[in-house]
């Protein structure tokens, strides 16, 4: 199976551009490439009713983050501090990097 390339990676700062969490900014905790989804810190919270099972399993109503489709997320540029479209380019040393299409700043270090 071919490996998917997403414009969002773990620890990126993203803004939600549609849905009930529109306009909120958070950090990506986990990316799920097979489903084109990402889990963003403290966004899209759901309540999960769980039963105690095992040694450390917590019972009761637990609030946790639910995945958001990556098409509803936009990467926030570190330099211009605004959500921006992302481009990809190859540097002189052969490494592939993402860059902000607004200001041209390289996202990957």
pLDDT in tens, 45-99: 999 998 888 776 788 999 999 999 999 999 999 999 999 999 999 999 999 999 9
pLDDT in tens, 68-81: 999 999 999 999 99
| Whole-number Å distance between alpha carbons of 72 and 2 | 23
The residue count for the chain:
109
Q: Which pLDDT value is given to residue 12?
A: 96
Task: Give CATH for domain 1-76.
Answer: 2.30.30.30
Higher pLDDT, 54 or 42: 42
Give the residue extent of every domain in the chain: 1-76, 81-109
Q: pLDDT at residue 40 above 70?
A: yes
Q: Yes or no: say if 12 and 91 are a contact pair by the CB < 8 Å rule.
A: no
Q: Where are the beta strands (DSSP E) in 33-95?
A: 37-40, 45-50, 60-65, 68-69, 73-75, 86-90
Bridge partner residues of 26 (DSSP) = 14
What is the average per-residue pLDDT within 20-36? 96
């Amino acid at each position: 199976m071919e490996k998917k390339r997403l414009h969002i990676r773990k620890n990126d700062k993203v803004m939600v551009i549609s849905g009930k969490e529109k306009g909120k900014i958070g950090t990506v905790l986990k990316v799920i490439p097979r489903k084109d989804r990402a889990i963003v810190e403290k966004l899209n919270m759901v309540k999960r009713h769980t039963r105690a099972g095992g040694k450390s399993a917590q019972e009761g109503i637990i609030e946790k983050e639910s995945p958001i489709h990556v098409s509803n997320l936009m990467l926030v540029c570190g330099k211009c501090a605004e959500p921006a479209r992302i481009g990809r380019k190859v540097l002189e040393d052969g490494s592939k990097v993402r860059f902000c299409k607004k200001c041209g700043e390289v996202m990957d270090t």
